[in-house]
Amino acid sequence: MIPHTLQQRIAACTSCHGVHGEGTPGSGYFPRLAGKPAAYLVRQMQDFQSGLRKYAPMEYTVRQLSPAYMREIADYFAAQQVPYQRSAMPSVSAQTLLRGEQLINHGDPARKIPACTGCHGSQLTGVQPSTPGLVGLPYDYLSAQLGSWRTHTRATVAPDCMAVVAGRLADSDITAVAAALASRELPAETHAQAAGSVSPPLPCGVLGAKATSP
Amino acid sequence: MRRAGRQGDLTVKWLRRLFALLALLLVLLAGWVISVADVGHRADAQTTVSQATLRDPALIARGDYLTKAADCAGCHTAQGGQPMAGGRLLATPFGNIPVPNITPDQETGLGRWSFEDFWQALHSGRGRQGEWLYPAFPYTSYTRVTRDDALAMFAYLRSLPSVHQRTGPGSLGFPYSRRESLVAWRALYFRAGEFQSDPNQTAQWNRGAYLVRGLGHCSECHAARNAWGGTPSAPALSGGQIPVQNWYAPDLGTREHGGLQGWHKQDIVQLLKTGQSGKGTAFGPMADVVVGSTQHLSDDDLQAIATYLVSLPPRVAGPELEAKTHDDALVHQGQQVYGEHCADCHGKDGRGVAGVYPPLDGNPSVIEPSGINATRAVLLGGFAPLTEAHARPYSMPPFAQQLSDAEVAAVVSYVRHSWSNRASAVRPEAVGRDRHTPVD
C-alpha cells in the first residue's frame, strides 16, 4: 500500500537529501535541507529550473514542478527538525581556520568582503524568509558552492550579492571559510533568525533588491 | 551485443560516408546554382493578410491551440527564457543549430515577416530570404499543415509580447554549414504538400493523421534516422533513437510486434492527457511534450490521434537479439537489486501501482530495442509529468549516485527479461556511456 503523503511523493528528493532533509554528510555534496527557510528552498528550485543554478540531476528533477508544488515541497523540508550531523573535514592548518573565522565574523574590509554573519545571522543559522543557514554543511559542499559562484554555474536573481562576495574571495579564502564553517560547533538554537533581524551590507535580488541598470 | 563483424561494419560505414561526402560536395555546387535561381520564384500567389485579420481574437485563440499542438515552444523557448524568444542551441549530430526568436520583434523576431514568409517556412522549409532551412525545424511534417491553420498560428505568434533577442551563431561543421548542402537532403527526404485526407477513412482518423503527421510532428522522434538525419524508413512511426539526446522514442504501433502492442485508444488518450496510463508513464523528452503540448489538446483531438495510431499496421517481428544476449548471471544479480530498490513501488510482479507507479511488465520504454530508456530512467529517476490531472505527481529516486554501472546493467537486464518481457540485456559499458549523456 502506497501512502498518499508528500513524503512518499518526493522520493526523488529524499533519496539524496534524506527523508527529513538531513542531507548526506558522508557523501559531501547533498546538502541538508531541513529547517532552511522555505522561500530560500523555493528560490533554489526556481534557479535550477531556469538554469541560473547548474547541476544536471537537479535541473532534470525539478524541470516541470509548478510553483505550488515547489512551495509545498519547500514547506515540508523547512518544517523538518532533525539533529545535525558532523561531516568529514579536510586537514587544514590552524592558520587557515583562523582566517576562516575572521572572514565569518568580520569579513575583510580592505577587500570589501562582508562578514558571513552580516547576512546569514549572528549564529549562521540563516534568516527568514530567504537566507540559508551555513552551519552543519559539509566542507565539500560549501567550497563547491563558493567555487561555482565564481564560475557562474551557480547564480540567482540580480543583483546576485553572493556572486559579488565570491568574486572578492581569494582561492585560499574559499578553503579557509568553508573549513571554518564546516568545523564550527553547532549553536544551541539552530532555527533561522527572525525576518528583518539583519541589515545586509550588499543589495541582494533574493532579498527583494532591484537590479540597477548598468 | 553486436560484436561480430563490428570492424567490418565500421569500414563499410566509413566508406559509405566517404562516398556520400564526395557526392555531397558535388551537389553543393548544383545546390548553390539552384538556390540562387530559385529565390526569385518564391510565393507566386502572394496574398496580403490584413492587420485586422491578424488581430482577430478568435483566430489568435485558435492559433494558440494549434501552436501548442505543434509544440513550437518546446524548441523556441530556452531554459529560463522568454516564451518563443529562441536562444537555445539544438544539438544535432552535425553540430549545434541555433533556435530563432519567433516573437514579433522587428529586428530579431518575426516582426518583418509577412504571412507568406511564414507559410513558406512552414510549407516549403524556406526562410524569409528564400534560404533553405535546416530540417531541425520540422518542415518535413509542418508542410502538411493547412494554410488556414498556418494563418491562425501566425496571428497567435504576432500577438505575443516582442522580445528583443538576437539568434546566436550555431556550430555546424562543413559541409553542413552551407545551406546548399541541403539540396541532396531535400531531394531525398522532403516533399512539400499539404495533408490530403484519405476518403476511405473516417473524419476522425483523418484528423488524427493530420495531427500526428503534421502539427504534432511525431515522426521527428518516433522514426529511425539514418546517418544523414533523414527518416526514410518504412513503416512510419516505428520508433528510433533520438540523436544526441539519446533517448529511444518507441514504436507507436499498437498491433502485433508494435511498440505499443496491447494499448487501447483510452491508454493513448490518457498518456497524452495526463502523462500516465495503465501501460506506462511519459518521461524524458516525452514528458516535456505532454506538459507543453498534448495535455492541452481537446478530448476530440486526443481521440483522433489514438484512432490514427491504433490503425498503424502490424510490425514484422524484430531480430531475435534476446537469445544471443541473455545473461543468466546478470539477470540473477539484477533480481537482488530489484528486490532491494524497485519492488516496493513497481511490485515483485512488475505491475506497478495503478495511478501512482508505472508497470514495468510490458512497458514499451522498458522493452524498447536499445535499453537506453530503462537505463536512463534508473539513473535519473524524476517526477511523473506534472499535468492538470497530476498536479502533485509521485517520483522515482535517481540511482546514479547509489548504484554502480554493473548494478544498473543488472537490474535493467532483469526488468527487460522478467514477467512477459523478453528484451536484450544491457551491458555495464552501455550504462557508463548513458551515465555521461548530458541531460538536455
Least confident of A122-126, B225-229, B362-366, B436-440: B225-229
**B114 & B208 share domain:** no
**Chain B interface includes A59 (CB < 8 A):** yes
Are the Cβ atoms of A9 and B394 closer than 8 angstroms?
A: yes
**What pLDDT is attached to residue B327?**
77
In a domain, A22, yes or no: yes
Determine, for residues B356 and A2 on separate chains, whether the beta-carbon distance falls below 8 Å.
yes
In a domain, B2, yes or no: no
Supply the mean pLDDT for chain A: 93
DSSP 8-state symbol, B211:
I
Could you tell me if residue B208 is inside a domain? yes
pLDDT value at residue B402 = 92
Model confidence over A91-126: pLDDT tens digits?
999 999 999 999 999 999 999 999 999 999 999 999
Domain total for chain B? 3
Residues B184 and B53 in one domain: yes
Whole-number percent of chain A with pLDDT over 70: 98
CB atoms A12 and B288 under 8 Å:
no
Is A14 near chain B, with CB under 8 Å? yes
Residue A213: inside a domain: no
Helix (H, G, I), strand (E, B) or coil at B262: coil
Q: Across residues A29-54, what is the average pLDDT? A: 95
The pLDDT tens digits for B1-27 are: 344 445 555 566 666 666 666 665 555
CB spacing of B287 vs A65 below 8 angstroms: no
Q: Are residues B234 and B177 in the same domain?
A: no
B155 and B31 in a common domain = yes
B170 pLDDT tier (thresholds 50, 70, 90): confident
Q: How confident is the model at residue B43 (pLDDT cuts 50, 70, 90)?
A: very low
Query: Of A158-167, B60-69, B230-239, B274-283, which range is least confident?
Result: B230-239
- Of B157, B189, B221, which residue constitutes the final position of a domain? B189
B355 CB within 8 Å of a chain A CB: no
Residues of B with Cβ-Cβ distance to A65 under 8 angstroms:
383, 386
pLDDT score for A214 = 45
Is A152 within the bounds of a domain? yes
Residues of chain B positioned with their CB less than 8 A from the CB of A56: 438-439
Q: Is the pLDDT of residue B195 over 60?
A: yes
Is A84 inside a domain boundary? yes
Q: Is B351 in the same domain as B295?
A: no
Q: Are B30 and B164 found together in one domain?
A: yes
8 Å CB contact of A9 and B398: no
Query: Model confidence over B374-387: pLDDT tens digits?
Result: 999 999 999 999 99
Pair (B154, B253) in one structural domain: no
Query: Which residues are CB-neighbours of B70 under 8 A, at least 6 positions away?
Result: B142, B145, B153, B215, B216, B217, B293
| CATH code for position A140 | 1.10.760.10
Pairing of strands B248-249, B240-241: antiparallel
A49:B80 CB<8 A: yes
In a domain, B14, yes or no: no
Residue numbers in B near A71 (CB within 8 A): none
Answer whether B385 sits within 8 Å of A65, measured CB to CB: no
Give domain status of residue B11, yes or no.
Answer: no
Do A133 and A190 touch, CB atoms closer than 8 A? yes
Asked, for residue A211, whether it belongs to a domain, the answer is no
Q: Do B305 and B408 reside in the same domain of the chain?
A: no
**Domain region containing B387:** 321-435
Cα–Cα distance measured from residue B440 to residue B433, given in angstroms and rounded to the nearest whole number: 15
Contact B397 A9 (CB under 8 A): no
- Full 3-state SS string of B100-126: CCCCCCCCCCCCCCCHHHHHHHHHHCE
pLDDT band at B40 (very low <50, low <70, confident <90, very high): very low
Residue A38 lies in a domain: yes
Instruction: Quote the domain boundaries for residue A95.
Output: 6-204
Tell me the percentage of chain A whose pLDDT exceeds 90.
Answer: 83
- Considering the domain boundaries, does residue A122 fall inside one? yes
Contact at CB, B386 and A69, closer than 8 angstroms: yes
Predicted ipTM?
A: 0.91
Write the residue in B394, B395, B439 that is nearest to A56 by C-beta.
B439
Whether residue B256 sits in one domain with residue B111: no
> Measured between CB atoms, does B395 come within 8 Å of chain A?
yes
Distances (CA, A) of A62 to A45, A134, B143: 6, 23, 35
Identify whether residues B130 and B208 lie together within a single domain.
Answer: no
pLDDT band at residue B28, thresholds of 50, 70 and 90?
A: low
Q: Would an 8 Å CB–CB cutoff place B354 in contact with chain A? A: no
Give the per-residue pLDDT at A46. Answer: 97
| Residue B259 to residues A40, A94, B233, B306, B310, Cα–Cα distance (Å) | 44, 64, 16, 14, 11
**A87 falls within a domain:** yes
Q: Which DSSP state fits B394?
A: -
Cross-chain residue pair B395–A61, CB shorter than 8 Å:
yes
CB contact under 8 A, A64 and B291: yes
| Statement to judge: residues B302 and B156 lie in one domain | no
A7 at interface of B, judged by CB pairs closer than 8 A? no
Asked which of B310, B342, B368 is the last residue of a domain, the reply is B310
pTM of the model as a whole: 0.89
Q: Which residues of B touch A6 (CB under 8 A)?
A: 392
CATH code for position B305: 1.10.760
Find which of B345, B386, B395, B435 to mutate to test the A interface (most A CBs within 10 Å of its CB): B395
Assess if residue B198 is contained within a domain. Answer: no
- Alpha carbons within 13 A on the beta-carbon side of B213: 20
- Domain count along chain A: 1
**Mutate: best of A5, A13, A15, partner B, most B CBs <10 A:** A15
- Mean pLDDT over each residue of chain B, to the nearest integer: 89
Same domain, yes or no: B295 and B325: no
